[in-house]
Amino acid sequence: MFNKGDFIVYSTHGICKVDDICEKTVLGITRPYYVLHPIDQKNQLTISTPIDNDQVVMLELIDKGKAVDILESFKSTGLHWIDKPNLRHSTYTDIINTGDRKQIAGIVNTLMRKKFELERQEGKLYEQDRKLLSNTQKVLFKELAISLDTSFEEIEEWVTNLITKECNKS
């Protein structure tokens, strides 16, 4: 269970802050709800979700040690590239939905490396790969930034420099 003021990773909304925990009655059933807001939403979106909602992923943020470990994982080559776009998207999405940050970092790493490789050849990622990379990278890098008390931009720069340096060697 999370507490008021906690930051969590909430499904597709990314990093959210728990603003309140309160009882709500919906369809005649009263139960406890989290009241959340995504930290990067300009429109002040508020999300109410039952505490025991099994339909969405709600995870506590990783600690500093785990964040450092995940950053270090970008020194490796990432996951196996799947040539078939639909199978790749389905497989990577299934992995993302597990919430395993190390595996999620592997997907971001793989897609970033493929993006840089294609750019060197004056090519581009498939649109669904580009969207998956963008959305997943945004959530992961923000979580790493919070855990390491730094900025999204610093995480992005560090990882990008590491990967481009490695890609330029090959």
Domains and CATH numbers, the chain: 7-60 (2.40.10.170), 64-169 (1.20.58.1290)
- Structure confidence by residue, pLDDT tens digits, 91-149: 999 999 888 999 999 999 999 999 999 999 999 999 999 999 999 999 999 999 999 99
pLDDT higher than 80, residue 23: yes
Contact 108, 115 (CB under 8 A): no
pLDDT higher than 90, residue 13: no
110 exposure class (CB count in 10 Å sphere: 0-12, 13-18, 19+): buried
Closest to 102 measured CA to CA, from 76, 131, 81, 73: 73
According to DSSP, the residues that pair with 32 across neighbouring strands are 23
